[in-house]
Amino acid sequence: MAEIQNILTVLLIVTGSFFMLVGSIGVIRLPDFFTRSHATSKSDTLGIMLIILGLMVYEGFCLNSLKLLIIFVFVAIANPVGAHALARAALSFGIKPWFKKEDKKEE
Amino acid sequence: MKRINPRNIVLNFILMMAFWLILSGYFDLFHISLGVLSVGSVLWFNSKLRRYVFFPDNVLVKTNFSVLRFFYFIFFLVWEIITSSMRIAYLIIHPQMPIKTGLIKFKTNLPNMVSKVILGNSISITPGTVTLHIEGDDFLVHSLTNETDEAHIDHSLAVEVAKLYKTEVERVVCDEVIIDSEEDL
């Protein structure tokens, strides 16, 4: 039983770290503010959720995993709100979104 | 100003008390009575805030919000997050990075303010799309891929949100415009 728990924990945390890594790579590779805000907030949603889920599996059912569940819910609610606030502020500040140029040359 | 529903206060008290108990971890009389004291004072401090009307339709709406449907919606959303996360991860790791950004503008006929907030947050939490602006019934969404299937995702999300409040749903999303060049902005 404990081994299954450990294996599941490792799997969840490794996939979570993978999505966090993808988010960090995206911040470097993507072209402008809006697309970068996708990378930071979105890949992290699944990354953080998987990591917290892995920690919950590791703890088993006790008070600590309930605390982790509360963190999980707060992240799930606060993450999109923060992303929306940042993107909306950028739009009203006058930052123009980036669009792909190659398509127009082909047409 | 509106009247306070006593059921809401009791529900709020139970929720905050559960929060206190989980965070403190002590279940003796002293700590629980401290918790009751602080939860009560928070409720008292917030009593004016509860009576404040934030949205004009906050009072009038007779909500038939179905909780069962909401659980289904959460599972639907989690599935949506997982699949689109993998797609976005593929797009970012791909050497050529085949993204096609675009702004999607659409109109909805959702019944009230809360459902619009739920839809906006659901769109934002799904990887690849961010809600930029909500004004009245108009949504402005920034998307990493402006292919047809992405628009389809927004459709199904909106339909699920509408189903939280109504059993019979007609067209939820209409007047869809995709802006994908600087001239159209």
pLDDT tens digits, A67-92: 888 888 888 888 888 888 888 888 88
- Domain membership of residue B57 (yes or no) is no
| Same domain as B169, residue B119 | yes
A104 falls in which pLDDT band (50, 70, 90)? very low
pLDDT at B146: 60
Using DSSP, state whether B142 is helix, strand or coil.
strand
Structure tokens at B165: 């409040």
Nearest of A13, A67, A69, A5 to residue B23 by alpha carbon:
A67
Q: Which among A51, A49, A48, A73 has a CA at the least distance from the CA of B19?
A: A73
Question: Do B101 and B179 form a contact (C-beta atoms < 8 A)?
Answer: no
CA distance B73 to B159: 10
- pLDDT of B156 reads 73
Lookup: tokens for B4: 């306070």
Structure tokens at B81: 């997050």
Bridge partners, residue B105, by sequence = B140, B177
Q: Do B127 and A42 count as a contact with CB atoms less than 8 A apart?
A: yes
- Tally A–B CB contacts below 8 A: 106
**Is there a single domain that holds both residue B71 and residue B151?**
yes
| Residue A101: per-residue pLDDT | 64
Residue B39 CA to residue B21 CA, distance in Å, equals 11
Residues B10-57 pLDDT 10s: 888 899 999 898 888 888 899 899 999 999 999 888 887 777 777 665
Question: Are B103 and A37 a contacting pair at CB < 8 A?
Answer: no
Q: Are B172 and B119 found together in one domain? A: yes
B182 CB neighbour count, 10 Å cutoff? 12
Do B150 and B176 lie in a common domain? Answer: yes
The verdict on B15 touching A (C-beta cutoff 8 Å) is no
Residue B141 has a CB neighbour count (10 Å cut-off) of 23
Q: B133 and B180: one domain? A: yes
Residue from A75, A72, A76 nearest A56 by CA:
A72
Q: pLDDT by residue (tens digit) across B98-148?
A: 777 777 777 777 777 777 888 888 888 877 778 888 887 788 888 777 655
Q: Residue B34 has what pLDDT?
A: 92
Look at residue B60 and tell me if it is in a domain. Answer: no
pLDDT of residue B171: 64
Q: Does B123 lie in the same domain as B158?
A: yes
Q: What are phi and psi of B59, to 5 degrees?
A: -90, -40
The answer on B76 and B44 residing in a single domain is no
Domain span at B177: 67-184
Q: What is the CATH number for B149?
A: 3.30.70
Contact by Cβ (8 Å): B133, A88 = yes
CB of B22 less than 8 A from some CB of A: yes
B159 in a domain, yes or no? yes
pLDDT of residue A107: 38
Residues 33-52 of B with CB under 8 A from A: none
Based on the fold, state whether residues B134 and B79 are members of the same structural domain. yes
Whether residues B110 and B164 fall in one domain: yes
B62 domain-assigned: no
d(CA A21, CA A36): 14
Point out the residue among A43, A87, A96 whose CB comes nearest to the CB of B132: A87
Instruction: Give CA A85 to chain center in angstroms.
Output: 16
Residue B34 lies in a domain: yes
On whether both B34 and B73 belong to a single domain, the answer is no
Could you tell me whether strands B138-143 and B129-135 are parallel, antiparallel, or unpaired per DSSP bridges? Answer: antiparallel
Pair B91, B180 in one domain: yes
Total domains in chain B come to 2
Residues of A with CB under 8 A from a CB of B: 18-19, 22, 25-26, 29-30, 34-35, 37-39, 41-43, 45-46, 63, 66-67, 70, 76-77, 79-81, 83-84, 87-88, 91, 96-100, 103-104
Q: Residue B176 in contact with residue B105, Cβ under 8 Å? A: yes
In this structure, is residue B142 part of a structural domain? yes
Confirm whether B58 is domain-assigned. Answer: no
**How far is the C-alpha of A103 from the C-alpha of A80, rounded, in Å?**
31
- In this structure, are residues B184 and B137 in contact, taking their beta carbons and an 8 Å threshold? no
B61 belongs to a structural domain = no
- Indicate whether B174 and B98 sit together in one domain: yes
